[in-house]
Amino acid sequence: MRRFHLNRRHFAIGSLAAFAGGCGGRRAPDLILHGGPIYTGRPAAPQAEALRISGDRILFAGALAEARSGQRAREIDLGGAAAFPGLIDGHVHLGGVGMAAMVLDLVGVESIAALQARLRAYAGANREGPIYGRGWIETHWPERRFPLASDLDAIVGDRPVLLERIDGHAAVANTRALQLAEITANTPDPAGGRIERGVDGGATGMLIDHAANLVHARFPAPTTAMRREALRAAVRLYAERGWTGAGNMSTNLEEAQILEEIAAAGELPLHTDLYLTPEDSEAVYERGPYADASGRVRVRGVKLYMDGALGSRGAALLAPYSDAPGAGLLVTPPEQVRDYLIRARARGVQIAMHAIGDRGNRLALDAYQDVFADDPAALAAARWRIEHAQVIAPEDIPRFAALGVIASMQPSHAISDLHFAPARLGPERLAGAYAWASLTQSGAVLAAGSDAPVEKGRSADRILRRRVPTRSLGLCRPRLAG
């Protein structure tokens, strides 16, 4: 069935099956929609005067007189409202959306003092086990700096604390957590990560990209029951908001299995396209892309990481940051990226590559082009994606369309990055940042997404909190998210 939305000021639905479906096994009469613009998503006939639906299938889109021919049907006059194909969130972390209600919520804290106050309240209500939280962003704080281990130690010093930045690419740990992970002044930076250090060489508590995994690995992982509860809550929320599909990024095998179980029970209201973590990628490399029996869970590919995030200065840039030394870092070694890509091409696996900085995006485009050098047309057919595509050198913008690479972008990033992107990049580099218009005009295909809960899953967190009890779980995310 082609899914459509009805949308006006105070009325929206996610699937017309709610109108056309029967009760108690009885078949409901067909349904006809008319009286407003109906967008079909078909280039040859982008609008229709009427739509006829039978059960869970759209039978006809075209003239009202023709839709009315045949058996009598129920009719809904849209009264000027528009109907359009159901929307798909091209980039979301459903597990993270559900888990956000189960950990310390730091979204919206406006200072280090406010972060400390929220940590104090949470620690008082949850007196055992490590504390994991997520959602802070420091760019508008009066302190004008990252939080430090000492800031957390002043509130909780007797058990590990790890508080992740909202982008999922940096975290601050207290001293107890650093000790748990055996991070000292002599600990080298891990590949694809950086341990921030003070003037004495000691760890400040700030851990960038893979460095945070040193602590994550020592925190208890979510149980299967927790993951199941989180995913059920997340898909319910998404359906309630009218989404009909989701591209779920950084999915691990346990999450994929849970979604298949939910679908098998007839309780998955979304079509989900899954992109596995690199750690779990063998499943799709061995089997190739596949769908479950319901057709609602499709394992399409692998989510890889080229670089980090702009806010934590982990995005790989062609020149140093304008407001600090360094030009970011590469999260995955280039030779390892190439191995993933070669195997993906051989098995028909779709690649979704996280790349934020201009160097990260150039390296991703170069790697895609190199792997398909013998057959460039096959790259476009493979529909490989670059996730985020936030900062692009102007000369690289036309390459997306020329190579057939999809720019999977999240509009909310421009809003959240507004406070720090000019300082990080300087005025000249902003010309190639958040370049939806330039990419569209060049002929590139764009896929839009939310990146929830990294971005405006914030309101989703609050809705979920009313449904899922807050508890101290000491959870860690599955490696990188974003």
DSSP symbols for 236-260 = HHHHHTT--EEEEEEE-HHHHHHHH
**pLDDT at residue number 437:** 95
Is 72's pLDDT higher than 80? yes
CB 244 within 8 A of CB 88: yes
**What Å distances lie between residue 8 and 84, 221, 329, CA to CA?**
11, 43, 45
Q: In the block, which residue shows the tokens 């057959």?
A: 375
> Which carries the bigger pLDDT value, residue 263 or residue 135?
263
Residues 401-441: pLDDT tens digits?
Answer: 999 999 999 998 888 888 899 999 999 999 999 999 999 99
Cα 116 to chain center, whole Å? Answer: 28
In this structure, the number of other CB atoms found within 10 A of the CB of residue 425 comes to 25
State pTM to two decimals. Answer: 0.81
462 CB-near residues (< 8 Å, 6+ apart): none
Q: Name the least confident of 64-73, 206-215, 409-418.
A: 409-418
Is 354's pLDDT higher than 90? yes
Percent with pLDDT over 70 in the chain: 89
Host H or E run for residue 195: strand 193-197
DSSP tag of 79: T
**pLDDT at residue number 480:** 31
Using DSSP's 3-state secondary structure scheme, residue 410 falls into coil
> Average pLDDT, stretch 92-107?
92
Q: pLDDT confidence of 471, banded at 50, 70, 90?
A: very low
Is 23's pLDDT higher than 50? no
Strands 245-251 and 271-276: parallel
Q: Could you give the angle at which helices 224-240 and 458-465 cross, rounded to 10 degrees?
A: 110
Q: pLDDT confidence of 57, banded at 50, 70, 90?
A: confident
Give the dihedral of Cα atoms 42, 43, 47, 53; nearest 10 deg: -10
Q: pLDDT confidence of 22, banded at 50, 70, 90?
A: very low
Is 130's pLDDT higher than 70? yes
Could you tell me where in the chain the CATH 3.10.310.70 domains are found? 99-216
Q: In the block, which residue shows the tokens 């406070």?
A: 419
Greatest Cα pair distance, the chain, in angstroms, is 82
Could you tell me where in the chain the CATH 2.30.40.10 domains are found? 4-86
- Rounded distance, CA 198 to CA 101, Å? 34
Percent with pLDDT over 90 in the chain: 78
Strands 290-291 and 297-305: antiparallel
DSSP tag of 86: P
In this structure, the number of other CB atoms found within 10 A of the CB of residue 127 comes to 8
Closest CA to 53 of 83, 23, 87: 83
The CATH classification number of 4-86 equals 2.30.40.10
Sign of CA dihedral 124, 125, 127, 133: negative
Q: In the block, which residue shows the tokens 């490696």?
A: 479
Could you tell me where in the chain the CATH 3.20.20.140 domains are found? 224-452
**What Å distances lie between residue 32 and 55, 61, 77, 259, CA to CA?**
12, 10, 9, 33
**pLDDT at residue number 27:** 66
Q: Name the least confident of 67-71, 360-364, 466-470.
A: 466-470
Q: Domain 99-216 - what CATH class?
A: alpha beta
Amino acid at 3: R
Q: Domain 224-452 - what CATH class?
A: alpha beta
> Average pLDDT, stretch 438-461?
79
Is 10's pLDDT higher than 70? no
**pLDDT at residue number 464:** 36
